[in-house]
């Protein structure tokens, strides 16, 4: 018999609303874009974290399990952590959820050149306060149920040589095509994050290759994001994004995609502590309320951006104002 109170379930989440303009689509609209509800439950050496997300996409809303993590850290070997479920792929600087990013749109590199989510198992080893190793086995890139007979493997090493500088490298290998495990895909993705207090710079490089009947299809991309804190509640963010899909493996057409995004952020208060409390690898605490605006200019060497008349153009300009609330 015990009189200890059972640990409570912590409920957190966030909401996203936006207003946007797209030149190629000749469209402007207000959008109640996303509502996410997260549950966190500790139980001894284990914890359970789950997130349900309802998002609006192409005019229709859908609810999905965005994260579901069962994690175990043995108290006698606390440098080891074993987790299973659906989780953010530990690759690059950008993340899937809006509060974890500094700009209200994702880069071409994030959307096309590397995985954003894994469903599988991951083991982490904190070898020292400055070195971390991780290995994962998953269904594949951004798939909940495996689309072929093979599995995707990932290895990552992360090093913090000095406070404020994080250097990481991830390697991913496995089949990603529907119904076949013949076309193995490999990816090398180093990333560097620099946190100087007022200035944050996050960069990632994605070098990929996929086996094809006619040889190997390759791509290479890089994205760099900078955030300058101008005051106690105001900052300015900018990103340059470059993706060379020379073999057409990602977009179906050999082309080079580029984008430049810039915009201010106003933020207020700090969100309550949770499994996600900071922009990853930085000391920037997630704000409870944030208002972000951005102007984005896209360019492609081939017609790529769809118009309202079912045609395609090589350039596009988009503007967005995004409101974030964390609870």
pLDDT tens digit sequence for 81-95: 999 999 999 999 999
Residue 96 belongs to what H/E stretch? Answer: none
pLDDT score of 101? 96
Distances (CA, A) of 80 to 72, 94, 170, 294: 8, 25, 19, 40
Query: In terms of Cα–Cα distance, which of 276, 259, 269 is closest to 98?
Result: 276
Distances (CA, A) of 25 to 78, 153, 258: 52, 39, 19
pLDDT score of 298? 98
Cβ neighbours of residue 3 closer than 8 Å, sequence gap 6 or more = none
Which residue(s) pair with 149 in the sheet? none
- Contacts of 280-285 with CB under 8 Å at 24 or more apart are 280/93, 280/95, 280/100, 280/193, 281/93, 281/166, 281/193, 281/195, 281/202, 282/193, 282/195, 282/200, 282/202, 283/195, 283/197, 284/195, 284/200, 284/227
Residue that has been written with the tokens 């996410």 in this structure = 36
pLDDT score of 57? 79
Distances (CA, A) of 155 to 101, 151, 238: 23, 14, 30
Which residue(s) pair with 81 in the sheet? 124
pLDDT score of 117? 97
312 near 94, Cβ under 8 Å?
A: no
pTM of the model: 0.93
pLDDT tens, residue order, the chain (327 aa): 555 555 689 999 999 999 999 999 999 999 988 999 999 999 999 999 999 999 987 778 899 999 999 999 999 999 999 999 999 999 999 999 999 999 999 999 999 999 999 999 999 999 999 999 999 999 999 999 999 999 999 999 999 999 999 999 999 999 999 999 889 999 999 999 999 999 999 999 999 999 987 788 999 999 999 999 999 999 999 999 999 999 999 999 999 999 999 999 999 998 876 667 899 999 999 999 999 999 999 999 999 999 988 899 999 999 999 999 999
pLDDT score of 129? 94
pLDDT score of 22? 96
CATH match of 65-326 with 2.40.160.10: yes
Domain ranges of the chain: 65-326
DSSP result, 200-227: EEEEEEEEEEEEETTEEEEEEEEEEEEE
Cβ neighbours of residue 280 closer than 8 Å, sequence gap 6 or more = 93, 95, 100, 193
pLDDT score of 7? 61
pLDDT score of 2? 54
């Amino acid at each position: 018999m015990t009189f200890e109170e059972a640990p409570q379930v912590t409920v957190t989440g966030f909401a996203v609303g936006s207003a946007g303009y797209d030149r190629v689509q000749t469209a402007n609209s207000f959008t109640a874009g996303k509502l996410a509800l997260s549950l966190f439950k500790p139980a001894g050496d284990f914890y359970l974290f789950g997130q349900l997300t309802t998002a609006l996409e192409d005019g229709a809303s859908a609810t999905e399990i965005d994260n579901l993590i069962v994690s175990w850290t043995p108290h006698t070997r606390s440098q080891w952590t074993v987790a299973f479920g659906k989780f953010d792929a530990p690759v690059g600087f950008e993340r899937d959820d809006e509060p974890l990013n500094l700009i209200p749109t994702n880069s071409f590199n994030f959307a096309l050149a590397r995985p954003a989510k894994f469903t599988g198992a991951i083991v982490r080893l904190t070898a020292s306060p400055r070195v971390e190793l991780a290995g994962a086995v998953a269904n594949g890139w951004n798939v909940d149920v495996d689309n072929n007979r093979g599995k995707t493997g990932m290895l990552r090493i992360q090093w913090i040589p000095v406070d404020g500088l994080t250097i990481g490298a991830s390697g991913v290998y496995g089949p990603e095509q529907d119904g076949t495990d013949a076309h193995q895909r490999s990816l090398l993705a180093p990333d560097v994050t620099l946190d100087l207090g007022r200035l944050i710079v996050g960069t990632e490089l994605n070098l990929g290759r996929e086996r094809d009947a006619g040889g190997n299809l390759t791509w290479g991309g890089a994205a760099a994001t900078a955030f300058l804190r101008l005051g106690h509640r105001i900052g300015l963010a900018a990103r340059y994004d470059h993706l060379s899909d020379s073999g057409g493996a990602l977009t179906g057409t050999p082309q080079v995609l580029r984008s430049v995004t810039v915009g201010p952020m106003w933020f207020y208060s700090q969100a309550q502590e949770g499994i996600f409390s900071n922009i990853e690898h930085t000391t920037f605490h997630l704000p409870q309320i944030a208002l972000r605006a951005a102007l984005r200019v896209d360019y492609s060497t081939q017609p790529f951006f769809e118009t309202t008349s079912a045609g395609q153009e090589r350039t596009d300009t988009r503007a967005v104002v995004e409101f974030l609330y964390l609870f």
